Structure 1
């Protein structure tokens, strides 16, 4: 019983989820779609296969801190595999004459109902934690610094995740701090999870905490000694039996992910060019020409994938000037035309970059490319800035939808931008791209504060 009680009875949730999902899978099949199949054979085969697929895809590895986008990704992955499984079942049982359309209807309805139950359970648990204070975990933090303050704030300000934070111990206070006092407090308050800042503790202290957690069945987690702005998403690999630690795992280095992203880029950019730019370009061109002399399009050299330079296209939003390739637009910039102010505010000026996407120089989503002169400058001043060039630059990106768009006023702006760009590089998924695109659209409709 200890393993269930440790998580405040949340150990039962996975079993409940399995029961709900298997009931949906077998109920829909036997009662509606495949009435003629052997019930016992189908239940045993499909249920076993579902469990095996779930273990492989980690479908039930959803935690209180999991994000909705990760749950959606698990759903899509699981049902891609389940659909293939159902086609294999219908192929082996060809005498049942199960039509492909019937399989698609069955898997889509199953996906909808299981997705509905999964998200319903996710949100009901959040509501249960917020309203009734159940399904919670009691935490302490050992170490006091900026990182632990952010974690403490997360615990205190997000009750829906079900954490009750009891105390943060200041390990720097050598006179008052002792591990024995921490351990006594953890026992007395029935603490569930211990969070430690590696930078605040010595190796011997860390070993003592590990031994205590192991011997007392406490969950132990560490905050990395992360003085840099990158996220340090580490990856374990094994050369024979030798463990090797890689600094960064980049999903877009996988050939399948590259194919998926490039296919999406071609499809999405083609749709924008055909259904939007085909009629919008002449209108914008006329407006630009009526207000000022000069070309309709503005071409600028920027650094892209692997630091390679390419010509980035935009609708011209400024009066022709020799400084356009050197200085960003600032608030109240006299170079920006009236038409330019509108198309910059609504991000219309960026639309020609969909041709860059179609040609393969850019992606719809990715780190925003900088002017060549700025790239040189930031590469010397900002740590990890060049990591952004591990993938193709994008028309929009995670940094842009989180407030780091437009003029770089201080180093804090570019550091924040690089931090989000590296997070995107290390955590890419097609669903994350879609989320960024939707958020970008809404931001463009309401107008961005720093779009000037």
Structure 2
């Protein structure tokens, strides 16, 4: 039954596509944007304003939804909260709609017709959200689907309230596997120390809820590290509302505050979807407009100077330490010990053309095929060679080193644009690189990715001292 909950990540993309279909189908039925002969492009294909409207909404609807958190509907979200999100998105979309009419001067649209269109569109969208909301509740309570398997550590008043909430509200979709506390109660599964053995043996735990006032600092750190390494969500039940800070995400379960630590943007399914779409589109542009002619050229230049393949393939650790084959243009003599040694300045293994493509980072461009395959992202922590991954893991706090592998590695990253690329000369280099990687993961945004790409291009044009 645990497997039934594994497809919930598809819900937000599904509702996004559903909403886009609703607003675009209805606009086609309500309006004729092509009544006026106002042309903006040479091609009649692109002058079709219904097509322009579809492109326009595909861009601006997700953007407004992202900033207004329109699709952030959770198990404890109430119907009034859903209606509030719907009203905010309606107001934003009204501005988007009139901006389109103003920009393209499509037609003098009657206000009443626009009002009818907006009301019908959001009526259908709102109905879809409500049906989905109650449908999921029924799916959880009747079919035991979309289930979160949880344990509670501690038996404070808040923990007891949470236990009752989980047991008495099946529609929320929580399966309580056990309660661990050093207190005495027939409801308790074992002691706090017993919980570590239970977590090790029990597979498929989704969330751990900890009552802060019963745990020592060591216990808290142990749970945080284990949860991060096992990709389990960990949440805290505070003993006082004074503990709530801006760095912690606070959810209210029937007025009971529950804190989530390390709430990172890329844990959000919609954000991962946005990042993936950006990766695919950006990679396709690079492959079509750059690599389509650069690969044959590089093949000739590389082959003229040395024997061997055009591409260098090497195995690296990706997301969750999954190994994948990373592609680069070959820049060193064939059969050199490139898998085990970093390149150094004036390295004799590097060919003449290799030195140029390494200096300009052209050797990294084939990794856009890795991005298209889904092994990498355009921006993210750089993947290390496997022997170095093991070596660096001994020097870095294990929690932070594992955490940097919770996202896909990137062609470029925040650490690289800040000067930490290439050879690791001392422990301080790898420590600072990991710090930037962690900062990137915790503070990800699409704007940050675009900024890092822009800085990467500027660094290449200026010339990087660590590129050799």
TM-score, length of structure 1 as denominator length: 0.51
Aligned partner of 1:276 in structure 2 is 290
- Per the alignment, residue 94 of structure 2 pairs with 85
Of 322, 326, 337, the residue aligned with 1:308 is 322
Give 1:278 deviation, angstroms.
0.4
Shift of 1:95: 3.6
Q: CA deviation at 1:81?
A: 7.0
Shift of 1:412: 0.7
Selected match of 2:434 from 418, 421, 425: 418
Query: Which residue number in structure 2 is paired with residue 342 of structure 1?
Result: 356
Question: Compared with structure 1, are the counterparts of its residues 280 and 87 closer, same or farther at alpha carbon in structure 2 (3 Å cutoff)?
Answer: closer
Identify which of 379, 388, 406 aligns with 2:404.
Answer: 388
Q: Is 1:397 matched with 2:413? A: yes
1:428 maps to 444
2:268 matches 1:254? yes
Change beyond 3 A, Cα 1:272–1:97: farther
Write the distance in 1 (CA, Å) between the matches of 2:413 and 2:290: 21
Shift of 1:247: 2.8
The alpha-carbon distance between structure 1 residues 339 and 81, as it changes in their structure 2 partners (threshold 3 A), is farther
Q: What SS class does the counterpart of residue 325 from structure 2 fall into?
A: strand
With over 3 angstroms needed to count, the CA separation of the structure-2 counterparts of 1:363 and 1:97, relative to structure 1, is same
CA displacement at 1:272 relative to structure 2: 0.2
Q: What displacement does 1:254 show?
A: 1.2
Structure 1 residue 444 corresponds to structure 2 residue 453: no
Note the C-alpha offset of 1:321.
2.9
Post-superposition Cα deviations, 1:89-119, rounded to whole Å, max 9, x if no partner, equal 899x97437889xx9xxxxxxxxxxxxxxxx
Mapped to 2, the partners of 1:302 and 1:255 lie a distance apart of: 25
For residue 407 of structure 1, the aligned residue among 416, 423, 429 is 423
**Offset of 1:341 from its aligned partner?**
0.7
Distance 1:404 1:354 in 2: 21
1:341–1:87: structure 2 CA closer, same or farther, 3 Å change rule? Answer: closer
**CA 1:240 to 1:351, structure 2 compared with 1: closer, same or farther past 3 Å?**
same
Aligned pairs, how many?
250
Per-residue displacement from partner, 1:385-444 (whole Å, max 9, x unpaired)?
Answer: 121111111000111101111110011111111101111101111011000001101111
Instruction: Indicate conservation of the 8 Å contact 1:407/1:450, yes or no.
Output: yes
User: What is the CA distance between 1:241 and its match in structure 2?
Assistant: 3.9
- Specify every segment of 5 or more residues in structure 1 that has no aligned partner in the other structure, as ranges: 1-52, 59-78, 104-221, 225-231
The match for 2:392 is 378
1:222-261 mapped onto 2 (5 Å cutoff): 234-261=248-275
* Runs (5+) with no aligned partner, structure 2: 1-63, 70-87, 102-107, 119-242
User: Which aligned pairs between 1:97-246 and structure 2 lie closer than 5 A?
Assistant: 234-246=248-260
Q: SS of the counterpart of 2:420?
A: coil
Instruction: Name which of 317, 328, 337 aligns with 1:323.
Output: 337
Is structure 2 residue 306 aligned with structure 1 residue 292? yes
Q: Report what 2:216 is aligned to.
A: none
1:231-286 residue CA offsets vs partner (Å, 9 max, x unmatched): x9543334444433333111112121111111111100000000000001111111
- In structure 1, the residue matched to 2:190 is none
Q: 1:278 to 1:84 in 2, by over 3 A?
A: same
- For the structure 1 residues 374 and 99, does the alpha-carbon distance in structure 2 shift closer, same or farther, using more than 3 Å as the test? same
Task: Describe the shift of the 1:307–1:257 C-alpha distance in structure 2 as closer, same or farther (beyond 3 A).
Answer: same
Q: Distance in 1 between matches of 2:94 and 2:370?
A: 39
Superposed CA offset, 1:183-207 (max 9, x none): xxxxxxxxxxxxxxxxxxxxxxxxx
- Residues in 1 aligned to 2:426 and 2:248: alpha-carbon distance in whole angstroms: 30
CA distance 1:379–1:81, change in 2 (3 Å)? farther
Specify the alignment match of 1:96 in structure 2. Answer: 111
Partner SS, residue 394 of structure 2: helix
Question: Aligned equivalents of 1:335 and 1:250: distance in 2?
Answer: 41
Evaluate the alpha carbon distance shift between residue 233 and residue 320 of structure 1 in structure 2; reply closer, same or farther with a 3 A threshold: farther
Shift in Å, 1:377: 1.2
Q: 1:87 to 1:439 in 2, by over 3 A?
A: closer
> What secondary structure is seen at the aligned counterpart in 2 of 1:377?
helix
Q: Give the aligned CA root-mean-square deviation in angstroms.
A: 3.3
In 2: Cα distance, 1:254 partner to 1:380 partner: 30
C-alpha distance in 2, partners of 1:375/1:234?
Answer: 30
Q: Is the 8 A contact 1:233 1:426 kept in 2?
A: no
